[in-house]
Amino acid sequence: MRAQGEAIRDMVGSLLRRAKGRGPFRHGGLVALVILLAFNALVTPNFLQLQTLFVNVSQVATIAIVALGMTLVIATAGIDLSVGAVMALAGATAPLIFMSAFGQAYPVTGLVLAFVVPLIVAAACGLFNGLIVSVLGVQPIVATLILFISGRGLAQLLTNGNLQTFSNPAFSYLGAGKILGLPFQGWLALALAGSIFWLVNRTAFGRCILAIGGNERAAMLAGMPIRSVKIGVYMICAVLSGIAGLIVVAINSASDAARNGNLMELDAIAAAVVGGALLQGGRAPVFGALVGAVIIQLVRYTLLANGVEDEVALIAKALIIVLAVYVQQARKE
Amino acid sequence: MTTRGPFDLDLRHMVRGDTQMIGVWVALLALIVFGLLRYDNFGSSYNIFSFLNYNSMFIVISIGMALVIMTGGIDLSVGSVAAFTSVCAAYLSPYGIEIALPGGMAAGAAIGGVNAFCIIAMRIPPFIATLATMLGAKGGALVISGAQTVSVDWSSNFTVFGMGKAFDLVPWTILVTLLVALVAWAILEHTLLGRTILAIGGGEEASALMGLGVTRAKTFVYLFSGACAGLAGVILASGYGAGQPLEGLGWELSAIASVVVGGTLLTGGLGSIPATVAGALLLGLVFNILNFENGKGTISLSAYWQLVIRGAFLFLVILLQSQFRSRPNAPR
Amino acid sequence: MTPLLEMTAIDKAFSGVSALVQSRLEVRPGEVHALIGQNGAGKSTLIKILTGAYRRDGGSVIFDGAPVNFSSPRQSQDAGIATIYQELNLVPLRTVTENVMLGYEPRRWGGFIDWRRAHRRTREILDGFGVNVDVRAPLERCSTAIQQLVAIARAVSINARLVIMDEPTSSLDDREVDVLFGVIDRLRRNGVSVLYVSHFLDELFRISDRVTIMRDGRTVGCRPIAETSKLELIADMLGRDAEEIRSAGMTGFGGVHAASGERLLAVEGAATLNRLKDFSMDLRRGEIVGLGGLLGSGRTEAAKALFGVDRLTAGSITLKGARVSWMSPRQAISAGLGFLTEDRKSEGIIPDLSLRENLTLAMLPKISRRGRIRHDEERRLVERFIRELDIKAAHMDQPVRELSGGNQQKVLLARWLALEPELLILDEPTRGVDVGAKAEIQRIIRDHVEQDISVLLISSEFEELVEGADRIFLLHDGRTTSTLRNPGVTEDMLIGAVAHNANEASVQDGQ
């Protein structure tokens, strides 16, 4: 069985190696993206229209933003399952604030707080994850499982499980606004990607992230602050998830704690991995995560637009994840 | 030295003298006593049976999950697999439970086989491999059901399994759950396969050097976990009269929580089936008691507390486990 | 007497690098056969070929009169070869019985394990060893010595004809060693052969019948232990002439005290949980102090204690007159220390990062302002070190894993030199690099000492210590045993001192 597995891997590996040259999966991801775009341009009706772009950008932004955070966490050889729950929690908090008596009385302050408080809540969730991972030394999967379960419950408690609808144009700009004809959140995702890219490649913090994921023991012996960097990474991931949660709420002009960010952890992990992040850590392809998010979204769109049901898209997503990790594995060996 | 037979159900032996495993039994006992004293109908056979009937699915899944976790792996696909097999079982229901039960379990085991192949032959981390099959099984369930609940054939004996009682005495589901627990326990405690499972979690390389059948044991646990999830799906379809492609969300986490609460180390190598069952019962009982409390009107906790409490429980256990595990070695 | 095991002309190479060349090994029935050699001499490789963990490239293995070719540990076990690896291949969370019986446990009807018989049999075996433990308890509750014996009990329970022990005593205390030797003796009386790998020479004389010596992947000798001496064995292991060592060892330790700067570091009676028992030394500014001793003497452990990796359980470290107790390498670094680790791969490089990023890893705080790395400065610095240390790479952004071993080592050296530390600890700085790079690295170290860096040099190469160090502290069994002062120290003197340490475990400080 193993020999057969190796044979398959060698085959796939060499095919991909030939296809991608020096740059790792990032380029493989780009190739996949081009193929998807070409396929759609040929097959999908009305694909090459502004409306299509518009729909996809507004959909992909949340995945991309969360995938950025997930990429950082994965770069330290961690994983964060709680992103969807944090989205729900942040998303539930915002309307509570600007719809409260205080928020009605002071609309401007209320609006500012409606952005700030949810992100503080999200950061606190990240701190919690980071502390369990770095101080208690619990595996990240398990550590973030806690908030994965109870975070959404807390969000539902906050809202009594009700769908909170609201009408607040200023807040909704986050999800419905446009700059140069493209959704605001698309620009936001790009700006965040730029910042994260800068963080990874231009700061000591970013260097620490890569070093920890690349060889934690060597990083420790080189005097790096392992604990605080890990905590920081989980906090960044949580804040980014919080932003994504706010966007979803703003798009819908409603907060639904049960559905906001549901299964987002899967999309984010898939996007990060397809974008070239190594589960063993040590690599943070920031723009790869964007490409990965676009691919995940495009696959879903392609299937939907061609009359394939959403459920089959799930299977396609599963295959993409397995293939991406498999190829990584092949390259590592 | 006392001697004992192989099937002596000696509590001390079952919990293997580990404090955390004793903890779950004590907590379970305390909650039961509390419930009996506080609520009139708590000890009624209706409450007991409906409680066990409802929780049987989670217990079965937790047992499969426990074996996987003992090897140091994880199976995130169980919830989706249960949804998938509930649909399969619903389609098979006209042929009666004799066909639908093995059919559903086989469907589950097949997905478990996919997991095993990805993990062992393709060497994909268990977390990712089972995440993928989780998506795949969910997609499969939705596809074959057309995203609708599939009603079962009420004229066959299929629903008797989920709703009826054996010999008019004990619900079939409870009986079957007990059987699964017994089989898993016997395998774990009394066969080389079971010991290998635990040894792998304690050190995969050491186990291979000892000459144990590591690949075989790992294949087995994923197949078994898949079959358990399949059984849960059959119970689901049979108990609610329909295949439910949308069910199973978050079941894997309940199962993981039960396993962990039952004192099984998430890193593998240590654990017991009875304690896992106790863990699942404990988590279920917390909600049962919350329901009673709501019924009394003293508090009004919404169902959402379930999730929060479940998470808090997990946190507590992880806290205890990390204390427990870090003691033998100096920090860092 | 026909030998139980005969390995002849074994060849093995790993990706083109020879690990074993025509090596041989012969073990007779019922003998305790020792296998010794320096690090990298090929002992482990030879054993792994025997047990089927590796496949040999050439040569033959005859076990019990028949040629064998094991392809897995299980096969060799079934043939009667049990191995007790250095990192015990046991499962600590499981019970003693399971660890002894697993895979070979008594069954009863239906394939169920008969625990009662399993426990009884385990207890019988361990009782036979004179060990009384609860066989139902998890193994991790037992001491290392007991775990060791459990591993042996496993070998006995599967009726092994040959038991291989890899450094079985490295973590045992004296009393535990006695128990172990009692058990080995019992095995021998029962006709079981023992292949015993150790670098503690005293033990060999106590327990073994014959000894095979390996060096650089070759078998260089096989002698009856009664007809040899420690000096001869050391000479064989090191490839020297025994007479030279003997005469050098008897000349005593003289020499003039060289360095005269202020005292930078003083260590008094330091001990850690990591095999360091009583380590003392001192070091002056501008001095190169060597730490020597055989493998397992506690050299690396001493460095880890100094660098804040392992915490002290006793003793003290004084830096520039102030007592220090570091909780992490981070603190040691900010106090002016650097530590080039022995294991380049697992504790040094970060393979996927570039040469540049690896080089500046420890000095990020120095080249960044408010968290932002000043890239111009970084590049300037890296360029300077590439030039000064003559690091060969396509460009500074090349992943460090693509560099040769020698160049990786230079990058790591530069990582610490760039920090301009006051004290640089170098653990085997030239291991695994080619001859050219080795000379260069030694030159770089010398140059920087002249620029007022003090060095603590750990090396298992006597030549390197003798030529490089002003003073050499010798360690044995986690304790400082003696000091040699340059000039005047010769390689043979050093070897003699090490041999004497091994002989007496306590040699007086030179005059």
Of A325, A200, A209, nearest in space to A274 by CA:
A325
Q: pLDDT, tens digit, for every residue of B298-323?
A: 666 667 777 787 788 778 777 776 65
3-state DSSP: chain C helix, strand, coil percent, rounded to 5? Answer: 40, 25, 35
Among C218, C246, C274, which residue terminates a domain?
C246
Q: Tell whether the model's pLDDT for residue C328 goes beyond 80.
A: yes
Q: Is B36 on the interface with A (CB under 8 A)?
A: no
Q: Is C346 on the interface with A (CB under 8 A)?
A: yes
- Could you tell me the pLDDT band of residue B213, with boundaries at 50, 70 and 90? confident
Residue A80 within a domain: yes
**What are the chain A neighbours of C333 within 8 Å (beta carbons)?**
222-223
Using CB atoms, list chains with 3+ pairs below 8 Å to chain A: B, C
Residue C131 shares a structural domain with residue C141: yes
Q: pLDDT, tens digit, for every residue of A144-196?
A: 988 988 898 899 888 887 888 888 888 888 888 888 878 889 999 999 999 99
**Stronger pLDDT, C236 or B9, i.e. the higher one:** C236
Cα atoms in the Cβ-side hemisphere of radius 13 Å centred on B292 = 22
Which whole number is the average pLDDT over B3-18?
A: 39
Residue A160: per-residue pLDDT: 81
Residue C389 shares a structural domain with residue C323: no
Q: pLDDT, tens digit, for every residue of C267-294?
A: 999 998 877 889 999 998 888 899 988 7
Q: Is C59 on the interface with B (CB under 8 A)?
A: no
CB B56 within 8 A of CB B251: no
Q: Tell whether the model's pLDDT for residue B325 goes beyond 70.
A: no
Residue A301 within a domain: yes
Residue C186 shares a structural domain with residue C133: yes
Task: Give the integer Cα–Cα distance in Å for B287 and A246.
Answer: 31
Residues in CB range of A35: below 8 A, 6 or more apart: none
CB B260 within 8 A of CB B317: yes
Q: pLDDT, tens digit, for every residue of C490-510?
A: 777 887 787 777 665 433 333
Which whole number is the average pLDDT over B130-145?
A: 88
- Could you tell me the pLDDT band of residue A234, with boundaries at 50, 70 and 90? very high
Q: Do C362 and A223 touch (CB under 8 A)?
A: yes
Residue A192 within a domain: yes
Domain count, chain A: 1
Chain B (208-227) residues lying within 8 Å, Cβ to Cβ, of chain C: 208-212
Residue C333: per-residue pLDDT: 92
Q: pLDDT, tens digit, for every residue of C413-445?
A: 999 999 889 999 999 888 767 666 777 888 888
Residue C139 shares a structural domain with residue C83: yes
Which whole number is the average pLDDT over A82-108?
A: 88
CATH code of residue A28: 1.10.3470
- Could you tell me the pLDDT band of residue C86, with boundaries at 50, 70 and 90? low
Q: Tell whether the model's pLDDT for residue A67 goes beyond 80.
A: yes
Of B85, B195, B295, nearest in space to C113 by CA:
B195
Residue C252: per-residue pLDDT: 34
Label residues B34-49 b or e (16+ Cβ within 10 Å = b). ebeeebeebeeeebee
Residue C87: per-residue pLDDT: 60
**What are the chain A neighbours of B308 within 8 Å (beta carbons)?**
150, 153-154, 157
Residue C89: per-residue pLDDT: 66
- List own/partner pairs for B124-129 with CB under 8 A and 24 or more apart: B124/A322, B124/A325, B124/A326, B124/A329, B125/A279, B125/A325, B126/B68, B126/B73, B126/B74, B126/B75, B127/A79, B127/A141, B127/B74, B127/B76, B128/A269, B128/A273, B128/A279, B128/A321, B128/A322, B128/A325, B129/A322
Residue A9 within a domain: no
Residue C252 within a domain: no
Residue C397 shares a structural domain with residue C427: no
Percent of chain A with pLDDT over 70: 90
Query: C-alpha distances in angstroms, C90 versus A52, C98, C138, C172?
Result: 60, 10, 11, 17
Residue of chain C nearest B329, judged by CA positions: C273
Q: Is B184 on the interface with C (CB under 8 A)?
A: no
Residue B323: per-residue pLDDT: 59
Residue B277: per-residue pLDDT: 92
**Stronger pLDDT, C166 or C398, i.e. the higher one:** C398
Instruction: Fill in the DSSP letter of residue B330.
Output: P
Q: Tell whether the model's pLDDT for residue B222 goes beyond 80.
A: yes
Task: Give the integer Cα–Cα distance in Å for B211 and B130.
Answer: 27
Residue C402: per-residue pLDDT: 85
Residue C443 within a domain: no
Q: pLDDT, tens digit, for every residue of A117-147?
A: 999 999 999 999 999 999 888 888 888 988 9
Which whole number is the average pLDDT over B71-75?
A: 90
Min Cα–Cα distance to chain C from A325, Å: 18
Percent of chain B with pLDDT over 70: 88
Residue of chain A nearest B129, judged by CA positions: A322
- Give CA B126 to chain center in angstroms: 18
> Residue type for B223, please?
L
Q: pLDDT, tens digit, for every residue of A210-226?
A: 999 999 999 999 989 99
Tokens of C291: 């730490």
Q: Tell whether the model's pLDDT for residue B184 goes beyond 90.
A: yes
Tokens of C162: 């040959």
- Could you tell me the pLDDT band of residue A10, with boundaries at 50, 70 and 90? low
Q: Is B138 on the interface with A (CB under 8 A)?
A: yes
> What single string gives the DSSP state of each residue in C175-243?
HHHHHHHHHHHHHHHTT-EEEEE-S-HHHHHHH-SEEEEEETTEEEEEEEGGG--HHHHHHHHHT--HH
Residue of chain B nearest A220, judged by CA positions: B332
Fold type of domain B43-324 = ABC transporter involved in vitamin B12 uptake, BtuC (1.10.3470)
Which whole number is the average pLDDT over B110-119?
A: 94
How do beta strands C279-284 and C263-272 pair? antiparallel
Residue B63: per-residue pLDDT: 95
Q: Tell whether the model's pLDDT for residue A22 goes beyond 70.
A: no
Residue A17 within a domain: no
Of C402, C369, C364, nearest in space to C382 by CA:
C364
**What are the chain B neighbours of A153 within 8 Å (beta carbons)?**
304-308, 310-311
Residue C253 within a domain: no
CB C170 within 8 A of CB C88: no
Task: Give the integer Cα–Cα distance in Å for B63 and B180.
Answer: 8
Mean of the per-residue pLDDT values for chain C? Answer: 82
Q: pLDDT, tens digit, for every residue of C437-468?
A: 777 888 888 888 877 789 999 987 777 888 78
- Give CA C209 to chain center in angstroms: 24
Residue C504: per-residue pLDDT: 56
Among A119-123, B119-123, C81-85, C374-378, the range with the most confident prediction by mean pLDDT is: A119-123
Among B126-135, C137-146, C170-179, the range with the most confident prediction by mean pLDDT is: B126-135
Task: Give the integer Cα–Cα distance in Å for B263 and B69.
Answer: 11
Angle between helices B78-92 and B126-145 (to 10 degrees): 30
**What are the chain A neighbours of B324 within 8 Å (beta carbons)?**
none
Residue C338: per-residue pLDDT: 92
Tokens of B158: 């299929």
Residue C444 within a domain: no
List the beta bridge partners of residue C483.
C473
- Give CA C314 to chain center in angstroms: 23
Domain boundaries, chain B: 43-324
Residue B9: per-residue pLDDT: 36
Q: Is A221 on the interface with C (CB under 8 A)?
A: yes
Q: Do B122 and A151 touch (CB under 8 A)?
A: no
List the beta bridge partners of residue C12.
C20
Which whole number is the average pLDDT over C63-83?
A: 86
Sequence length of chain C is 511
Residue A247 within a domain: yes
Percent of chain C with pLDDT over 70: 89
* C325, burial (CB in 10 Å: exposed 0-12, middle 13-18, buried 19+): exposed
CB C187 within 8 A of CB C208: no
Task: Give the integer Cα–Cα distance in Å for C445 and C424.
Answer: 10
Residue C224 shares a structural domain with residue C170: yes
Query: Strand, helix or coil at C34?
Result: strand
**What are the chain B neighbours of C272 within 8 Å (beta carbons)?**
none
- Could you tell me the pLDDT band of residue B150, with boundaries at 50, 70 and 90? confident
Q: State the residue range of the domain holding C402.
A: 343-420
CB C100 within 8 A of CB C125: yes
Query: Strand, helix or coil at C345?
Result: helix
Residue A8: per-residue pLDDT: 54
Residue C463 shares a structural domain with residue C385: no
Query: Strand, helix or coil at C502?
Result: helix
Q: pLDDT, tens digit, for every residue of B242-282?
A: 888 888 877 887 888 888 888 777 777 778 899 899 989 98
Percent of chain A with pLDDT over 90: 35
Q: Tell whether the model's pLDDT for residue B28 goes beyond 80.
A: yes
Q: Do A148 and B253 touch (CB under 8 A)?
A: yes
> Residue type for A24, please?
P
Angle value at C-alpha A294, between A11 and A18, nearest 5 degrees:
25
Residue A268 within a domain: yes
> Residue type for C7, please?
M
Ranking A40-54, A76-90, C43-57 by mean pLDDT, the lowest is A40-54
- Could you tell me the pLDDT band of residue A27, with boundaries at 50, 70 and 90? low
| Neighbour tally for C41: CB within 10 Å | 23
Residue C19 shares a structural domain with residue C73: yes
Q: State the residue range of the domain holding A327.
A: 24-39+46-332
Residue C441 within a domain: no
Residue C359 shares a structural domain with residue C311: no
Residue C25 shares a structural domain with residue C110: yes
- Could you tell me the pLDDT band of residue A255, with boundaries at 50, 70 and 90? confident
Domain count, chain C: 3
pTM value? 0.77
Q: Do B210 and C140 touch (CB under 8 A)?
A: no
Q: Tell whether the model's pLDDT for residue A300 goes beyond 90.
A: no
Residue C454 within a domain: yes
Residue A210 within a domain: yes
Q: Which residue has the tokens 């019988």?
A: C124
> Residue type for C122, please?
T
Residue of chain C nearest B205, judged by CA positions: C89
Q: Is C436 on the interface with B (CB under 8 A)?
A: no
Residue A212: per-residue pLDDT: 93
User: What are the start-end ranges of the E strands in C40-116?
Assistant: 58-63, 66-67, 81-84
Residue C53: per-residue pLDDT: 81
Q: Tell whether the model's pLDDT for residue C73 goes beyond 50.
A: yes
Mean of the per-residue pLDDT values for chain B? Answer: 82
> Which of B186, B195, B330 has its CB closest to that of C273?
B330
Residue C180 shares a structural domain with residue C304: no
**What are the chain B neighbours of C137 within 8 Å (beta carbons)?**
17
Q: pLDDT, tens digit, for every residue of B87-103?
A: 999 999 888 888 889 99
Residue C251 within a domain: no
Ranking A294-298, B279-283, C71-75 by mean pLDDT, the lowest is C71-75
Q: Is A280 on the interface with C (CB under 8 A)?
A: no
Tokens of C35: 């296998």
Which helix (H) or strand (E) segment holds residue A226: the answer is helix A226-252
CB A214 within 8 A of CB A58: no
Residue C464 shares a structural domain with residue C376: no
Task: Give the integer Cα–Cα distance in Å for C175 and C106.
Answer: 33
How do beta strands C193-197 and C162-166 pair? parallel
Residue A130: per-residue pLDDT: 96
User: What are the start-end ranges of the E strands in C362-496?
Assistant: 368-369, 372-373, 423-427, 454-458, 471-476, 479-485
